[in-house]
Amino acid sequence: MEKQLRTKQNQSIFNMKLNRFKSKMYVAIASALLMPVIVSCSYLDVSPAETVDKDDMLVTQVDALKYLYSCYGPIQCDNSIRAFRPFNLRQGSDEFVALAPQNTDWQRYQWDQPSGANTYYGAFVNYYDAIGYCNQFIRDLSEAEIVELNPSDAAQYIAEAKFLKAYFHYKAMEEYGPIPIMDVMLPMDISKKDLPGRSHIDYCAKYIADLCDEAYANLPIAHSNPQYYGRATKAMAKFLKARAYWLTASPLYNGEFPHTTWSNEEYETPGYGTELVSRTYDAQKWETARVACLEAIREADAAGHKLYDLEASEARRLADNIPLPQIPGLDTTTPEGEEFAKRVMLMRYVPVAGPNEGSSEFIWGMLDIAPDMDNASIPHYVITDQNGILRGGWGWISPTLYTVEHFLTANGKVPSEDENFPSEENWFKSAGLNNPDIVNLYVNREPRFYAYIGFDGDEYSPVIKNGAPLILDMKNSQENGYNPNFGANNQSQTGFLNKKMVHPNVRYTGIDGNNNLALGYDHPFPLFRVADLYLMYAECCARQNNHLDEGLSYLNKVHTRAGLKAFSESEMSGNGQLLEAVRNEIFSEFYFEARRQLEIRRNVEGDKYMSKSHYRKLNCMVTNPTFEEFNQIEVIDQPFKWNDRMYLYPVVNSEVYANPQLVQAPYY
């Protein structure tokens, strides 16, 4: 969006006293516009008892547009950014870890510590606050008489608010499962016994899909004005509809929900009674999701969305004056080697390139205004500044050994399943290259591995060191190895570093203040992107064992873009082969995009991937280890634990206490 929107955080309506339902909520404004907008900021969207007269607020088209922006504001405003930004509890999975003293929200999830008394940043409340903004906007604009606002613009503004309302419902459903539906603002005199409880998960999905269809009719295919980047479009509505059906077709909500007796106590969903999750498998769910995905693909095509490609990436790389990266064991003077290195750079750009960098892949992106995760990824030593001080990032985002092992080989297979890859007992032996620190596991991997994972002997970036490459030395305490002098928490816990989301043109000069933080590269974070849509469609086909040729085609679009040979029909002919390939592709493509935890939860695989023994690392937390010492495999010493209650997030207790119909998630 063209303006950053800021909101004042308000108390939830679900406090112990019902009179808080009647609080007057003065909300956020578009800070650069300085336009006060009155919205309901409560879980139940109850109208404020006293408000500024909307006739005074909605006089011109500009007023209406400013008011609309308040509906977008919660996605990125300071007060709720922790709920909507993906780098918090939703990142808690087996992908990466940090040192225990960080005590982040996603670490607390890895340790089975969330509870109704220890929820993260009130996300449940923030989602419903956001729904309240949308409901009030829809009501007020529908009732307003704005002479200069033509009917088509008014219809579009209302459609945008409906899309956002659907999105906020979806985000709540993704995390909390069956949720209360808040379609309209509730009256001030509502009784507690009339407050809505959770609706059946399939009812929630259909509500979201229907709302997207309503919005679709009056949304534009695209916005011609670039300052409106991020506002709702037809493709966004179709994507969200597909996403809702895809989620509820997944095993967690399609016959494998582990808590068989969980239901509402009294509140009933029309057509479902008190049931919240269906207990039996329904293949039709996958067909419904497939059709919705196909609609979304066609709409994305019509809007010009496509996978970011090599031509656009190379134009951006050359404009940024970045040389091709060094890849272990790869001769970039050959056509094949040069192509591979270009693919590595392409995949570095994919998650950070916006429309101004030639990318139309993001169907929807959010401006990542805070460089925290960049700094948390960049190693603690990059350059020595003009005063002789060692400078760098924080370097505590630490990919696990499982992550390193699970990116594909150059042959498009998981290393343990590639008969042409070294056997597992030889993975951590030197590969015999010019740099003896490079081990066999790091050679002949797919381009995304080199784009996203930093390892001992790897080139972290071709230009980050004042235009020169940074070669990681993870054993040397004076460079990138363990050294508490860089900060007790600023260490890799596993022996590996993250590169994804770090813009490839970040450069530390060591002068003029550019010596400690990865500043200067605001870039969008992907909310909806084309690759996701293609892989959702491929999964729908694989789950049904139907339309397999179409599913394979869309899988191969993503697979070959990453520089890998297309899968053949014969390779995918075995039972479950296509589904396994899709899931492996999802792992590599969406690493570090807050997707992995959702994959584990929706596929009901928590115990398999998030039990303590699954979290492994190298012996990196020692000073100046030898090659042999460093490459010893260990279990990470943190209180990792899986509990089946973690398939759903807990609602903050005060919300449950205040609403007799709202049942807590199981076992919280």
pLDDT for 465-477, tens place per residue? 999 999 999 999 9
User: Given the structure tokens 């690493």, which residue do they identify?
Assistant: 591
User: Given the structure tokens 């928590």, which residue do they identify?
Assistant: 606
Decide which of 663 and 17 is more confident. Answer: 663
* 374 and 253 belong to one structural domain: no
Residue 41 pLDDT = 37
For residue 288, the domain's CATH number is 1.25.40.390
Asked if residue 578 is part of any domain, the answer here is no
Residue type, 227: Q
Asked if residue 496 is part of any domain, the answer here is yes
Structural domain ending residue among the three candidates 501, 527, 553: 527
Both structure tokens of 240 = 């969200």
* 138 and 229 belong to one structural domain: yes
User: Given the structure tokens 């029909």, which residue do they identify?
Assistant: 569
Asked if residue 11 is part of any domain, the answer here is no
Residue 156: closest CA among 222, 112, 210:
222
Stretch 105-133: mean pLDDT: 85
Whole-angstrom distance, CA of residue 271 vs CA of residue 278: 12
Both structure tokens of 68 = 């609309």
Whole-angstrom distance, CA of residue 108 vs CA of residue 497: 21
Q: Parallel, antiparallel, or unpaired: how do β-strands 383-384 and 390-391 relate?
A: antiparallel
* 204 and 325 belong to one structural domain: no
Decide which of 417 and 78 is more confident. Answer: 417
Task: Report the phi/psi class of residue 600: left, alpha or beta, with left for phi > 0 and alpha for psi in -120 to 50.
Answer: alpha
Asked if residue 662 lies in contact with residue 264, where contact means CB atoms within 8 angstroms, the answer is: no
Asked if residue 104 is part of any domain, the answer here is no
Asked if residue 324 is part of any domain, the answer here is yes
Cα dist. 2→58, 66, 153, 357, 403 in Å? Answer: 20, 11, 18, 18, 37
Residue 379 sits at φ, ψ, to 5 deg, of -60, 155
Decide which of 225 and 666 is more confident. Answer: 666
Residue 524 pLDDT = 82
Residue 359 pLDDT = 95
Q: Residue 359 half-sphere exposure, CB side, CA atoms within 13 Å?
A: 29
Residue 649 pLDDT = 94
Length of the chain equals 668
Residue 368 pLDDT = 64
Least confident of 75-84, 289-298, 625-634: 75-84
Structural domain ending residue among the three candidates 484, 504, 527: 527
SS3 544: helix
The dihedral sign for the CA sequence 552, 557, 563, 566? positive
Q: What band does 574 get if pLDDT is binned at 50, 70 and 90?
A: confident
* 175 and 268 belong to one structural domain: yes
* 253 and 343 belong to one structural domain: no
Residue 190 pLDDT = 87
Residue type, 300: A
Residue 105 pLDDT = 80
- Secondary structure of 114-161 in HEC code, one letter for each residue: CCCCCCCCCHHHHHHHHHHHHHHHHHHHHHCCCCCCCHHHHHHHHHHH
* 372 and 391 belong to one structural domain: yes
* 464 and 378 belong to one structural domain: yes
Stretch 193-207: mean pLDDT: 97
Asked if residue 251 is part of any domain, the answer here is yes
pLDDT for 275-299, tens place per residue? 999 999 999 999 999 999 999 999 9
Residue 555 pLDDT = 99
| Number of Cβ within a 10 Å radius of residue 644 | 14
Residue 509 pLDDT = 86
Angle between helices 577-589 and 548-561 (to 10 degrees): 30
Among 62-66, 224-228, 444-448, top mean pLDDT goes to 444-448
| Strand partners for 525 | 366
Decide which of 99 and 439 is more confident. Answer: 439
User: What percent of the chain shows pLDDT beyond 90?
Assistant: 73
Asked if residue 417 lies in contact with residue 515, where contact means CB atoms within 8 angstroms, the answer is: no
* 340 and 210 belong to one structural domain: no
Residue 177: pLDDT over 90:
yes
Domain total for the chain?
2
pLDDT for 317-333, tens place per residue? 999 999 999 999 999 99
Asked if residue 542 is part of any domain, the answer here is no
Q: Residue 218 half-sphere exposure, CB side, CA atoms within 13 Å?
A: 16
CA angle 305, 592, 596 (to 5 degrees): 95
* 210 and 78 belong to one structural domain: yes
Structural domain ending residue among the three candidates 505, 527, 549: 527
Asked if residue 437 is part of any domain, the answer here is yes
Residue 119 pLDDT = 66
* Own/partner pairs, 298-304, CB within 8 angstroms, 24+ separation: 299/221, 299/234, 299/235, 299/238, 299/239, 300/235, 300/238, 300/239, 300/363, 300/530, 300/533, 302/221, 302/234, 302/235, 303/221, 303/222, 303/233, 303/234, 303/235, 303/363, 304/222, 304/360
Residue 371: pLDDT over 60:
yes
Distance of CA 42 to the CA centre of its chain: 26
* 285 and 429 belong to one structural domain: no
pLDDT for 399-422, tens place per residue? 999 999 999 999 999 999 999 999
* 301 and 323 belong to one structural domain: no
CA angle 647, 648, 649 (to 5 degrees): 130
User: What percent of the chain shows pLDDT beyond 70?
Assistant: 87
Least confident of 14-28, 90-104, 580-594: 14-28
Residue 444: closest CA among 410, 469, 401, 468:
410
Residue 333 sits at φ, ψ, to 5 deg, of -85, -15
Residue 521 pLDDT = 66
Domain of residue 60: give its range.
54-82+114-305+649-658
| Number of Cβ within a 10 Å radius of residue 223 | 15
Q: What band does 120 get if pLDDT is binned at 50, 70 and 90?
A: low
pLDDT for 15-73, tens place per residue? 322 222 222 222 222 222 222 333 333 444 444 434 455 666 788 899 999 999 999 98
Residue 67 pLDDT = 94
Q: What band does 356 get if pLDDT is binned at 50, 70 and 90?
A: confident
pLDDT for 239-258, tens place per residue? 999 999 999 999 999 999 99
Residue 76 pLDDT = 67
* 271 and 401 belong to one structural domain: no
Q: What band does 372 get if pLDDT is binned at 50, 70 and 90?
A: confident
Residue 55 pLDDT = 62
Contacts of residue 598, Cβ cutoff 8 Å, sequence gap at least 6: 90, 174
H and E: helices and strands count for the chain: 21, 15
Q: What band does 548 get if pLDDT is binned at 50, 70 and 90?
A: very high
Whole-angstrom distance, CA of residue 276 vs CA of residue 83: 24
pLDDT, the chain, mean: 88
